[in-house]
Amino acid sequence: MMRHRLGGKRLWVLGTVGGAAAALGLAAAGCSPDMPLPDQVVVDAADNSNCDELSYENFGQAFFQSYCLRCHSETRVGDIARNDAPVGINYDTLEGVREFATRIRLRAGELGDMPPLLLPGPRPSEQERVQLIRWIDCDTPSEADAAGGG
């Protein structure tokens, strides 16, 4: 988030290489940057008036494939292959997604610190994050649910 940026008044701290190294150390030591959606966007996103629109098949599956499975996948074994994504947090299936839906909404939707900002790679757009929140607030529907009349 913006306050982690090294701009304006704080720039003088970085007058030395030591200062820059200290700043990087801070980032590595748990000051994990995020990129939160504006509050009003989150409020507007929390709209489950049209839950027929987004499904796992027309949205969720491709979302997780594009932005999460290069770390959070059952097919990735070991810390290096998983880029340190915790063992057992995998989004290959709808069940895997549902198990962590609340945390997914927070980290990838609201806060935007998943995927991790410090690692290069594709990230969802603001629009896609809004869709993610909507789909989760609708209880992660799939076409199978619809076919089952639920």
Binding site for ligand HEC (CB under 6 A): 32, 67-68, 70-72, 83-86, 89, 100, 103-104, 107-108, 114-116, 119, 121
Positive or negative: CA dihedral 56, 59, 60, 66: positive
* Residue whose entry in the numeric block shows the structure tokens 């940026």: 5
Q: Tell me if the bond preceding 115 is cis, omega within 30° of 0.
A: yes
CB of 14 to ligand HEC, least distance (A): 26
**Residue matched to tokens 């509050």:** 39
- CB closer to ligand HEC, 58 vs 102: 102
Q: What are phi and psi of 63, to 5 degrees?
A: -60, -50
Q: Structure tokens of 46?
A: 């929390």
**Cβ closer to ligand HEC: 7 or 30?**
30
Are 36 and 112 within 8 A, CB to CB?
yes
Q: Specify the residue, 34 or 145, whose C-beta has the smaller distance to ligand HEC.
A: 34
For ligand HEC, give the closer residue by CB, 46 or 101: 101
What's the rounded Cα separation, in Å, for the pair 127 and 133? 10
